[in-house]
Amino acid sequence: MTGTAGTAPFAGGRMVALAFMAQSLAVGPTFGAFGPLLMEFERTFGMSRGAVSLALSLVVLASGLFAPVIGLLVNRISIRRTLMLGAVLLTAGYGALVFAKSGTAMLLIYGLLIGPGGALLGWLPNATLVTNWYAEKQGRMLGFVSMPLVVMAVPLIVVALLPNIGLKGVLIALAAVHAIALPFLLMVIDRPEDIGQRPYGAAAAAAAAGDPDAAPGVSMMGLLAMPAFLLIIIGAGLAVGAGVSKTVHLVPLLTERGWDLERAALLLSISGGTGVVGSLLFGWMADRWGGGAALIFNCAVQGVVWMILILPVGFGVLVIDAIIIGMCGGGFVAAKAVLVNQLFGRKSFAPAMGLSGLLTVPFLFGMAPLAGWLRDQTGDYMLAVSTHIAGFGIAALCLTGATMIARRNRQQGTAATLA
């Protein structure tokens, strides 16, 4: 099944490759390079560790605030132009860092150029591109696109380059990489219909669940009135917020339990690295079981394995725990995208993902500080981890409700098609 209307080769595979490139450039240099450059920023701008770290918080904040805007842009000015605008902002951002004279200027560049640029080049437009081209195998394609391979490779590259070309040389290289991507982004084709093709598996998907493109798009205000959308926000917010909290607190939690810093850091690295496998695995699960079922399984597994963090276990069990948590965290976004597409269809996918990105910001920002506050109040992480475990239970219930609505919609769509 090629999805083509004529004899031209199906272009969906090429679009997935371009989406992977764009997603990797949006996330890899921004998050992968920052750690190795952190002390260079401290030295260059005379900043404290906390002040420098604020740069990544500004990137996350900008991504959340810009998400609804990006959801509108991909439909109104095209995915290709949105991605190219992101690459331009990132090129300008890293170029501007070369000439920055103060820590304030550095933070402004991260908040106003690199953060918005990464969001415009990142997950939302690339996930929209994939769902436009694939009615079947969405989960697997989205899982491939979201693999954090570049995030793992960039730190090693930056560490190797720093002694030879210095901070400014690395920043120039980062700017150049994003500039070089622009000609490739010109090859992005928003929808298969633009070149006389059809989404992969469109006929089978329409027969199974009705034609999702036949339904009118839903406005952002309309989304806010839909129970399924609000359930996804709560469920995804609790699950992803716990992942952010794990990144912040895993090392201190383990060192407080008597493990040395090196082993604690190793477990955090393992957890991050296994996200590559998780993105593919949960993408496959979303295709086979449905996005909602994959997310419910994801939350249930995390709720169980997080218990290991507060149980007296050996290092080998902690390694298994890190692998499973990393896989679940890495696979969540792809499965969520499949569920959103199943619920709202291609026409509303980008606005729904964009608005959900904004509404989950409080979870992303609030859950790590909440865990820290609970630890300070009680003297250990027992209550903080237990709170996250309860959050996974609530998330599973919310996503179960959203999945039941998705199943009802599919049944209604099938009945309408048969009628």
Which is higher by pLDDT, 185 or 4? 185
pLDDT digits (tens, 9 = 90+) for 73-127: 888 899 999 999 999 999 999 999 999 999 899 999 999 999 999 999 998 999 9
- For residue 14, count other CB atoms closer than 10 A to its CB: 14
Predicted pLDDT of residue 81: 95
Q: What is the mean pLDDT of the chain?
A: 85
Q: Label residue 204 by pLDDT band (50, 70, 90).
A: low
- The answer as to CATH 3.40.50.2300 being correct for domain 210-418 is no
Mean pLDDT, range 253-265, rounded to an integer? 78
Predicted pLDDT of residue 89: 96
Mean pLDDT, range 395-411, rounded to an integer? 83
Which is higher by pLDDT, 380 or 414? 380
pLDDT digits (tens, 9 = 90+) for 10-49: 999 999 999 999 999 998 888 778 778 878 888 898 887 6
Amino acid at residue number 42? E
pLDDT digits (tens, 9 = 90+) for 341-385: 888 887 888 888 888 888 988 887 788 788 888 888 888 888 989
Q: What angle do CA 222, 226, 229 make, to 5 degrees?
A: 105
CA dist 398 and 385 (Å) reads: 20
Residues with Cβ within 8 Å of residue 285, at least 6 apart in sequence: 139, 293, 294, 297, 331, 335
> Which residue from 117, 129, 140 is spatially nearest to 349, judged by alpha carbons?
129
How far, rounded to the nearest angstrom, does the alpha carbon of residue 190 sit from its chain's CA centroid? 20
CA dist 287 and 292 (Å) reads: 10
H or E element at residue 378? helix 361-378
Share of the chain above pLDDT 90, in %: 34
pLDDT(213) > 70? no
**The pTM is what?**
0.80
Q: Label residue 414 by pLDDT band (50, 70, 90).
A: very low
CA dist 45 and 218 (Å) reads: 47
Predicted pLDDT of residue 206: 53
The CATH number that domain 12-195 falls under is 1.20.1250.20
Every domain of the chain with CATH number 1.20.1250.20 lies at: 12-195, 210-418
Predicted pLDDT of residue 389: 94
Q: Label residue 272 by pLDDT band (50, 70, 90).
A: confident
User: DSSP 3-state assignment of 334?
Assistant: helix
pLDDT digits (tens, 9 = 90+) for 65-86: 888 889 888 888 999 999 999 9
User: DSSP 3-state assignment of 4?
Assistant: strand
pLDDT(319) > 60? yes
